[in-house]
Structure 1
């Protein structure tokens, strides 16, 4: 039978195009009614635009209210970045560069990080796609302009604040016990009673922790529902406003970008206003409290006579995810074969496990994990100070290293058991210590 070959043409397959997952970011800078209406309009506008555009898949609208673009703590903005890192978003739409961020460094750092993830950002007003060839150059120029605009707004605000101070008027006071009404402080009666009770207890001998525990046991809360801290209570009792006076400009903002406040040690003029509002305490009680605080400070000051504290590489950089406090360094079993250096949550160290169950982090493990996070063979103090902004401890056994350039590294660890630490070297040290202590006891008995 003769072989037959027949050419067959298959029907062309239509390639299904992948839907682009698009999200939008919106923000207003004031909590007043009109801007909030504007925010609502932005959310509605972006939701409709994304859902009507062919080839786009709606990935949500992220919106922040009443927060400055110069700060990085915007909750929705941070959630947006987290979803981008999780691979949930391909493109972000924002109204303008100034709505995204007013800080050149923050803007470019975020855009570069998103570009590495393959996430494009489109700014409507400037008609810029950051994944385009000229995107970063244009962004640099626009973000620099936005930063200068923020500085200009800040200077105008400083002028208004200074004008208030010169007239003896506070700018913004949120002190517990008072509310600000039309530029003047008025007493909040129920809060004032709590402060008077605290003053009586302090003069009876209560310290910071005892005051805090007593108020917590009585279920007395602060203005926002949290427990009143001992340091905060004593600070309120020693504040000049509690007797009707005001010292204005105790702190000042260093620059409009970081918004960091700094204690005024003479860099700026201060203004003292006496008897400008009704006091919660009488002056005699107030003076007794100040004298008692000075007496305690003198009684419990260090033997060296100095309050200087040692600073270590990790000081102020490790933060507990359970209670929010920072970690402090502690030496356990000092000058013994079992000496260990570790870092503990301040709440756990001061109040115990009932208030925070964060575990101690051995210093040797902390240094090893920090070196690994930085990609170094061993811990380098200078490199750590320059690169790592903070170390978060969300749960026991987990460390999250946050770098100044914006990237994050997570490390986990296990606390070594006592069985592993009881090695021949430690056994030898323990034996030598026991023999030395026995010899010292026999010598002491002979001398009696």
Structure 2
């Protein structure tokens, strides 16, 4: 009977390492012994198609504490180039003594479909027992990493409880001394003035304009490594962050936790409460004719299933065509491939939402329930006319300008929650009544104060 035909040749690379150069001058040293053991193991598997590669990967005089080793780097390059199918070592610690580093190397191997064998430890990922041992080792590596994360988190929380600043650049109005926040006498009056104007009811746009006239900027800072952070004019985004930052009342944040009395407050509790009350009663900012050229009528309304906002994003191709999307906020900072939720084409989502709204607003039971409430708000409303207008919304919609359509959507919709297989539309309870009232009015759409 002829020997079974070997369908595939498996190219095997033997990696050897010795921490010191001591004894390398001997006629038969540790590196050679490791290499011979690896070659012998490969020869014993010749019937399975194992063959040695011509190159040697020997790191003599290199510690396993680092992955920066010439032969190891060359081995990884050859793995990336597809020249190796199996890596063979005398023991696992020849490759790495660190579970964490071994995990990184193993991830690199699996990404290129390369197996691993340790000759003297019965460690062979080409069979089930070897893969079981590997999973046990990697479980310990994962456990070790999680312990490190927990220790780092506990240290961070303990530091913040002691009032230590752990966030890099301090907020406007504060300076750093011995890693603690101290009030900056030059910047703190500006921060107080901002909160005072908000508490007094000054519109945000007017406040931003006043700050620009004063020449006020964001924090000017020099980092430890000497990098200069230049102050920029205070825009609405920074203003909103300042108004929501409880650091100004003497607290430090960790996740959703706030630790009180961590440092001296710039804003007293009474002024803070007035400013928060003033911002809470302001209506949602609505798009206007001066909105950005790329329209996103659902801006600020779209959220992912995990509660995070989905940000408007667009790209323009060489042919001049623009593609619009609503993108998960994390996808702007991380690899979108790691997210289960893909970016959502804006046109498709907007069309689906508008069509759903049209269906809802034409429903007889909804019309019957809403009309009495609208008439109660304004007795001058013509009930039959409003009913006809709601039933013919699809015709009215086409006559609305883009910013008017956006106003209507913002008025009616509380939020849109995008799941992997569907989108959930949540309406504003008072928005429907106000919308009906506005249908008979020539005045701009009003936003309800909920």
TM range (shorter): 0.3 to 0.5
TM-score for the superposition, normalised by structure 2: 0.38
Which of the two has greater helix per residue?
A: 2
- TM-score by length of structure 1 reads 0.38
